[in-house]
């Protein structure tokens, strides 16, 4: 068996390898960061939330992390270590052969060895790591020579909540960002952070510093549920986040997407008095302020246009989270809409 270097993987900001050879892929780089900045603080939070830095638990979940090799191997071998943090379960591993799902395997807590038979003819083998749980890998190997494949094409960064992380997707290659990237042959950096999409500066820096041809930002649902900002502070925070990204992404098309319809939550005020419609208005206001100042590579998608109320009621597993079929539909709707932004990036119009 020929072991493959960890450098063949993509979809992350930093990788760390411990003394036993286990590699963890971080979608946010923890080096030099103060974890206290993203903890929940305050008397109410001490009563209701453990004092953990949940953002960093999400950051070491390898949602969207994958590797691709061209090989005629007959067998793949991979050691994987999973931990149910912060979710109550760990996602699966997907292995694709020439773009089609070949195998989907469950990952349990602890260490396990995966041995998988492959076609044995020259093929592109993609391995998608779990989109839930804290996961590390060791010793990916094939029983024949394998060459890493890095496809040219659009480099796409997408940021958002658990809906972007797509916890209920059938597998890691079927989250909505994975489906968009596969449909459009894009190289995706998927920064879906369940419960932790609060416009943190560390996320803005990661997006700013990751080379991209297109950026999409799904903003608002965690801000609504967490009461992160008020009607007074949210528009300015959106503007500040986008301005930070623009420090290095000077001409990159950026698409802000407001919250999808949540029929059972619409019209209900959160802890700071905002409804979902208020949040959509605040996000739109922050985006429009920059468009009005001449940022014509900035675009806005109204999240209410992605799924209808009837579809949301049928495809949500709870009040806000789609099921596997819902994520497939979101991916099929957003793939052409996001692709259409690229040739019209200079118009500054809503998509």
CATH number assigned to the domain covering 155-344:
3.40.50.1110
Residue 349: what pLDDT?
A: 43
Mean pLDDT in order along the chain per 10 residues (351 residues) = 76 96 96 81 54 81 97 97 87 97 96 97 98 96 95 93 97 98 97 96 97 98 96 98 98 98 97 97 98 97 98 96 98 98 55 49
Inter-residue contact 176 to 166 (CB < 8 Å): yes
Q: Is the pTM for the entire model greater than 0.75?
A: yes
Q: Whole-angstrom Cα distance, residue 40 to residue 252? A: 33
Q: What angle do CA 102, 187, 254 make, to 5 degrees?
A: 140
Q: How many CA atoms lie within 13 Å of 270's alpha carbon, on the beta-carbon side?
A: 21
Inter-residue contact 134 to 30 (CB < 8 Å): no
Return the domain boundaries, the chain: 2-27+60-148, 155-344
Q: Whole-angstrom Cα distance, residue 293 to residue 288? A: 9
Residue 65: what pLDDT?
A: 98
Q: Whole-angstrom Cα distance, residue 141 to residue 242? A: 41
Q: How many C-beta atoms lie closer than 10 Å to residue 41's C-beta?
A: 11
Inter-residue contact 11 to 60 (CB < 8 Å): no
Beta-strand relationship, 93-97 and 146-148: unpaired
CATH of 2-27+60-148, one of 1.10.10.10, 2.60.120.260, 2.60.40.1840, 3.40.50.2300: 2.60.120.260
Residue 3: what pLDDT?
A: 72
Cα–Cα distances in angstroms (integers) from residue 193 to residues 87, 190, 329, 338, in the given order: 12, 9, 20, 20
């Amino acid at each position: 068996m020929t072991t493959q270097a960890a450098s063949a993987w993509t979809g992350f900001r930093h990788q760390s390898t411990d003394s036993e050879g286990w590699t963890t892929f971080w979608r946010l780089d923890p080096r030099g960061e103060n974890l206290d900045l993203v903890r929940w603080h305050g008397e109410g939070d001490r009563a209701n939330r453990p004092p953990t830095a949940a953002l960093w638990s999400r950051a070491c979940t390898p949602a969207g992390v994958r590797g691709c090799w061209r090989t005629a191997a007959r067998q793949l071998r991979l050691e994987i270590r999973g931990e149910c943090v912060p979710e109550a379960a760990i996602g699966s591993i997907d292995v694709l052969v020439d773009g089609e799902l070949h195998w989907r395997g469950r990952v349990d807590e602890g260490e396990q060895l995966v041995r998988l038979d492959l076609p044995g003819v020259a093929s592109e083998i993609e391995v998608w790591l779990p989109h839930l749980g804290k996961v590390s890998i060791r010793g990916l190997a094939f029983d024949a020579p394998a060459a890493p494949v890095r496809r040219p094409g659009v480099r796409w960064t997408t940021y958002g909540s658990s809906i972007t992380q797509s916890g209920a997707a059938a597998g890691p290659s079927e989250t909505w960002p994975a489906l968009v990237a596969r449909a459009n042959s894009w190289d995706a950096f998927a920064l879906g952070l369940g419960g932790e999409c609060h416009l943190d500066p560390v996320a803005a820096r990661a997006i700013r510093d990751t080379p991209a041809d297109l950026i999409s930002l799904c903003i608002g649902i965690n801000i609504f549920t967490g009461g992160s900002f008020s009607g007074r502070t949210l528009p300015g925070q959106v503007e500040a986040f986008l301005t930070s990204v623009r420090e290095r992404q000077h001409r990159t098309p950026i698409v802000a997407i407001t919250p999808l319809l949540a029929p059972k939550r619409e019209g209900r005020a959160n802890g700071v008095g905002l409804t979902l419609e208020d949040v959509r208005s605040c996000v739109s206001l922050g985006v429009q302020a920059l468009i009005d100042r001449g940022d014509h590579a900035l675009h806005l998608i109204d999240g209410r246009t992605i799924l209808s109320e009837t579809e949301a009621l049928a495809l949500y597993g709870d009040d806000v989270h789609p099921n596997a079929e819902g994520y497939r539909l979101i991916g099929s709707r957003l793939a052409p809409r996001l692709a259409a932004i690229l040739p019209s990036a200079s118009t500054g119009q809503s998509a």
